[in-house]
Amino acid sequence: MPQHVLVALDGSEQGFAALEYSLASFPDATRTALFVVDPTTDHDATVGAADSPLDHAEDRGERVLDRAAERADECGRSLRTQLRIGTPQTEILATTTDAGVDHVVLGTHGESPITRPFLGHVSEAVVRRAPITTTVVPETVSAVRDRELPESILVPIDGSEQAEAALEYALETFPDATHTALYVQELPFDRPREDVEGTYLEDILHEHETRAEEILESATAVAEDHGTTLETETVAGKPAAEILDYAEATDADQLVVGAHGRSLAARLFTGSGAERIARRSPRTVTIVRGAPTAE
């Protein structure tokens, strides 16, 4: 469970949605809101104005942080604020080390602070390079406020330590949520089951089905250790696409995925796979880094 959460703000709607998510999801954690002043991108400063671009950018950052502090106070939550000057992704990553942060929450498709995509330039860099668990929130403030978070969580699993860590994180952090473990079979053929029966492909299919049963049984045992009921499901197809389709079909509130899994020919949760899910998902995605702690 996160102990110190860093919320990266850029003044955008999604940035404040990230704040809302952190306030609702981690009530007992230490929380820091960070605004990074990047004066080279502040096009609001007027030529000939008394304030320099740096002064103008710092003033804007302070206003954003004041608004964040006011919202935290409304929710009865504590919030530290910090303003740094530099390249956003560099300063966000540096703060995770300097402040002892163990979880980063940030919005996607925001503005930083002009109209370039936040995920494309800043969030994606943080997701790719952060050594700690990261949550990206693509939703609006109202969408986050209008439901009790989280209600349902989808955890894709593949038998790797990282996927198990993701399941452990979801169960420990959100014990009152509904949890579903999804296993995606990436079969080496594209044929209906009835066309496979009686051929050499039937043995291959049986091996994949047995593997799925073993992984899901292991996941169920982990949930039982936490005193939690776990729903399980198996689908076939390309992992990232099937995960996103299943989340859409079941209206999951959040996806919790492991990074850098090694099974299924290392294609399920390689860095690009987890990033692809975070990039495409219209729902909040948490990417968990680190293997489960040994007892």
Residue range of the domain that includes 75: 4-145
User: Are residue 12 and residue 141 in the same domain, yes or no?
Assistant: yes
Find the range with the poorest average confidence among 16-20, 40-44, 51-55, 92-96: 40-44
Q: Let me know if residue 91 belongs to a domain.
A: yes
Domain boundary among 145, 180, 209: 145
User: Are residue 210 and residue 89 in the same domain, yes or no?
Assistant: no
User: Are residue 110 and residue 50 in the same domain, yes or no?
Assistant: yes
Q: Which of 163, 164, 203 is CA-nearest to residue 187?
A: 203
Higher model confidence: residue 262 or residue 29?
29
pLDDT at 245 over 50: yes
272-282 pLDDT per residue, tens: 678 889 888 99
pLDDT at 73: 97
pLDDT at 261: 45
Residue 290 banded pLDDT, cuts 50, 70, 90: low
Give the domain CATH number at 82: 3.40.50.620
Domain count, the chain: 2
CB 281 within 8 A of CB 247: yes
Lookup: tokens for 161: 């330590």
User: Are residue 130 and residue 162 in the same domain, yes or no?
Assistant: no
Give whole-number Cα distances, 242 to 146, 260, 263, 295, in Å: 27, 18, 17, 33
Find the range with the poorest average confidence among 164-168, 216-220, 251-255, 263-267: 263-267
Q: Let me know if residue 128 belongs to a domain.
A: yes
Domain boundary among 130, 145, 160: 145
User: Are residue 181 and residue 207 in the same domain, yes or no?
Assistant: yes
pLDDT at 87: 92
Burial class (CB in 10 A: 0-12, 13-18, 19+), 77: middle
pLDDT at 229: 92
Q: Let me know if residue 295 belongs to a domain.
A: no
What is the end-to-end Cα distance of the chain in Å, rounded?
A: 16
Residue 119 banded pLDDT, cuts 50, 70, 90: very low
CB 122 within 8 A of CB 112: yes
Q: Let me know if residue 294 belongs to a domain.
A: no
